[in-house]
Amino acid sequence: MLLIDCPYCGPRAELEFSYGGEAHIVRPKDPEALSDAEWGDYLFMRKNTKGVFLERWCHSHGCRRWFNVARDTVTYEILAVYEMGSEPPALPERNLV
């Protein structure tokens, strides 16, 4: 049960959150201009970084707000929590494999 530090409510148990997958995937401005391959990439292709991964969470049973998390997907350690729309903070390099 992860302990996630909601930027709006403080640390809460994972139970209160829902997951939104990889962060910083921006919806194309003009989808019609994309090829099928490009659109498929946007829709489905994901990094699944082993190591520090930027991902989205929503405090769905709390303030209902979305935010970004930098989490190590091996140790599950949370390295940073930052607001939607902001750039990820500088993070230590990790050995990813």
Partner 1 sequence: MVRYSFLSLLRNALSYHENWPQAWRSPEPKPSYEVVIVGGGGHGLATAYYLAKEHGITDVAVIERGWIGGGNTGRNTTIVRSNYLWDESAALYEHALKLWEGLSQELNYNVMFSQRGVMNLAHNQHDLRETARRVNANRLNGIDSEMLTASQVKAFCPVIDLRAGGRYPVLGASLQRRGGTARHDAVAWGYARGADARGVDIIQNCPVTGFIIENGRVQGVETAKGPIRARKVGIVAAGHSSVLAEMAGFRLPLQILPLQALVSEPVKPIIDCVVMSGAVHAYVSQSDKGELVIGAGVDHYVGYGQRGSLMVTEETLAAICELFPLFRRMRMLRQWGGIVDTCPDASPILSKTPVEGLYINCGWGTGGFKATPGSGHVFAHTIAQDRPHALNAAFSIDRYQTGYLIDEHGAAAVAH
Partner 2 sequence: MVQRFRLPEGGLIDRSRPLEFRFDGQLLEGFAGDSLASALLANGIHLVGRSFKYHRPRGIFTAGPEEPNALLQLGEDPRTDPNSRATQTELVEGLSARTQNCWPSVRFDVGEVNSLVSRLFPAGFYYKTFMWPASLWMQYEAVIRRAAGLGKSPTRRDPARYDKTFAHCDVLVVGAGPAGLAAALAAGRSGARVLLVEQDHSLGGSLLGDPEDRIDGLPALAWVAEAEAELAAMAEVRILRRTVAYAYNDHNYVLLHERVTDHLSGEPEHLPRHRLWKLRAKQVVLAAGAIERPLVFADNDRPGIMLASACRTYVNRYAVKPGERAVVFTNNDSGYGAAIDMRAAGMQIAAVVDLRENPEGPLTDAAEAEGIRVLAGHAVTGTQGRLRLSGIRVAPLNAEGDRVFGAGEPIECDLLAVSGGWSPTVHLFSQSGGKLAWSEEQGCYRPGEAAQATLCAGAVNGAFGLAGTLREGHQAGEQAASAAGFPPKQSKKLHFEAGDESFLPARWLWLVPSDKPLGRGGKAFHELQNDVTAADLHLALDEGYSSIEHVKRYTTTGMGTDQGKLGNLNAIGIVAERLRRPLPEVGVTTFRPPYVPVSFGAFAGRDVDELLDPIRKTAMHGWHEKNGAVFEDVGQWRRPWYYPRGGETMHEAVNREVEACRASIGILDASTLGKIDIQGPDSAEFLNRVYTNAWSKLGIGRCRYGLMLGEDGMVSDDGVTARLGEQHYLMTTTSGNAAAVLAHLEEWLQTEWPELRVYMTSVTEQYATASISGPNARALMAELTDDIDLSPEAFPHMSLTHGTVAGLPARVFRISFTGEAGYEINVSARSGLALWQALVTAGEKYAITPFGTEAMHVLRAEKGYIIVGQETDGSVTPIDLGMDWIVSKRKDFVGKRSLSRPDMLLPDRKQLVGLLTEEPDTVLPEGAQLVEQLKPEPPMTMLGHVTSSYYSPNLGRSIAMALVKGGRDKQGQRLWAPLADGRKIACSICEPVFVDPKGERLHA
Binding region for partner 2 (CB under 8 A) = 1-3, 13, 18, 20, 26-27, 30-32, 34, 36, 39-40, 43, 56, 58, 60, 64-66, 75-76, 78, 84-85
Q: Which is nearer to partner 1, 7 or 22 (CB)?
A: 22
Q: Which residues are CB-contacts of 83 (< 8 A; sequence separation ≥ 6)? A: 7, 67, 68
**Binds 21: which of partner 2, partner 1, none (CB < 5-8 Å by kind):** partner 1
What tokens were used for 90?
């500088």
Q: How far is the CB of 63 from partner 1 (least distance, A)?
A: 19
Binding mask 58-87 for partner 1 (x = CB under 8 A): -------------x-xxxx-----------
CA distance 89 to 30: 29
**Binds 87: which of partner 1, partner 2, none (CB < 5-8 Å by kind):** none
User: Nearest-CA neighbor of 81 among 46, 41, 54?
Assistant: 54
